[in-house]
Structure 1
Amino acid sequence: MKPSSSRIAKRVLASALAGLAFGALAQEQTIRIGLVAPMSGALAVSGKANQKGGQLAVDELNRQQLRIGGRRARFELMAEDDAGDPKQGTAAAQKLVDARVHGVVGHQTSGSAIPASRLYSEAGIPQVSPSVTAPRYTGQGFKTTFRIVAGDASIGDAIATHAVQRLRMKRFAIVDDRSSYGHGIAEEFAKAAVRVGGTIVGREHASDRSSDFSAILTAIKAQQPDAIFVGGMYAMAGPMLRQMKQLGLGAGMLGGDGICDNELLRLAGGAARDDQVFCAASGEIEDDREGRLRDFRKAYRQRFDMDPELVSLYSYDAVKLLADAMRRADSANPETYLPFLARTRDYAGLTGRISFDAKGDLLHPQLALYTFRHGVRAHLATVQMP
């Protein structure tokens, strides 16, 4: 029995549609962006904010329907949790290398990012950290390693200068958590504080998982410091503020970007006084002249039903920066677009203008100084570093 003309027409149509679908798929490429952050553990709040910022960037890129290498690009975020632990960070990095991601945003902490950077370098995968400040991160000579925040030296200098020259503080105690980040930024603060006329009256160490600082704070109280510099994260600084109040230690608290988070106040449990805590972080993100920051915050709230954290903006910029280098190179091949990423000049990110030096460090970083007032972080000033 011969098929009817209607059946033949249906088969022809089905075949044509299948061909069109195959052709559309052949014209699309998936670009995988890895992201590693502590999405569990003591730093989970900032780690999840990191992931959300990266996801918002990916969503936006997919709506733009960019064409790279003659094919439409579909971006995909592969997020991995390292809990802020170096061993888990290395395992996460190996997983992304095995998955052949096209670029990596992260890691969030210095202790995790530094050992992972060797794996990415060996695989030739560009890595842009939205938060690592330790000098060693970009000091290893890897061509694949970049950061879009200021380093410890700049942050330590900015907060020390502000404390001595503006706040009239002279005597400083230092507590660091022995991590790559905490110890490194504490060292830079100590050098800068002495250079601008301050005195280090005590130096103590804790673990980045410590929660009881009573013995350390009792020893510090006897030194009568004007302020305690915390080389660590908000997970340490918040409980420390609470215990400072319990011990009647009325000193101020200073720190870098690790404590510049509203989560600090929640962990302090109401113990923080207005204008007691001062910190420095990269960027001038309070400047909303073009409305881009306002639009970002609106989109973030709509997508996640919460306000963004500082790191959300940096992870957003890091994803968009990788995509921009791919667009300029007209290729998502890491080997091809890596030189374009290295030559980035004046990329207009939400966090400021981004240019890299030969090491992958941010050229001429801006630093924002903050305090905490009326239950929220408050912007004080912006410093342009040389």
Structure 2
Amino acid sequence: MSRLSSPTGVRVNRPYYVPVDSRTVRDVSLTYRALGLLTYLLDQKEGWQVRSDQLSKGEGREGREAIRTALRELARKGYYRLERRRFRSGQCAMGTAVSVLPIEQWVKDYEVFGTSKNPAVPVVEQEDGSFLVEYPDGTFGSDGFTADPADEEPPADLGPEPGEQPEPVAAPSKPEPEPAAPAKPVRKRRTRRTAEQKQADDEAKAAEAEKKAAMKKALDDAAESVAKWWWAHAEKHLGAYVGQKKGYVAMRTQVRSALETGYTQKECGLALQSAKKHWPSAQQWQHALGIVTKNIQPSQPFGRVAYSDVATWGVPSQGSSSLQGDSQTTPSAVNDDADDATFGVIARS
């Protein structure tokens, strides 16, 4: 049996100590080209990959088509084949197999698979590491490999040496009874639903479906109401819509999604007014909804916020005075000087 060191490596059917068999060398049905290529393949170690483009490289080598022709000849004669391997792990890999002697089974397999579009022979790995061929009808057959002598176990005791007395054979003991198999768990049988239960279930399903349909209709009507109002309002204040087709339907879908999320019809209407678009983009729509719900602060027209003493210093306390020429009240913190100092212009003499 061939040992694989690589999932895509070549499997070589040969005794480990004989690289080429004399019967193969004297096979007159093989051309010298095919015989030479086979000898080269048999000389490679297990796990080596057979590739026609690599075999055609090098000084004195023939072209790739000549190599492929020789490989097809070896496949017809039962010395070589392409394999599609499926391993127990679930992996699949392409590889090749080479035999030191022609295998009759490979010749038959070539007649089945070699003339198809995919000439690779499908082989499936078994528990002991060997492979079986899987045929189109679902059956399995031998892959033609024989066991390596090193894999064979030594024979059992062959009997006494000449002149030795054989040991007496003991009478066979009574076989012990096999333990009883554990009882299979009893599966509970499913009780059939009564006609009343089935009718109740059907009524519950129908009620649920009717409830969902009513909710969907209410949502569609609310979205249509907001969309119709806004379309008329936008044409009056923004002009006729000249954008992409189905803009009204897309805008109504935006409104419906917002209503389904939890926004009110009023908030959707205000958001459309804030966006100032017949059909706002997704980003504009989300921004407008954020402004309406006070989750986003509206941007100032000139990018600056007007100055305010109250916003800067806080609410002034009672009794604070006002600065001349300023409408804002002064903060209590700056009304009185803590050290009662008097400020003014010092006159120089």
- TM-score, normalization by structure 1: 0.20
- TM-score, normalization by structure 2: 0.21
Q: Relative to total residues, which structure has the larger strand share, 1 or 2?
A: 1
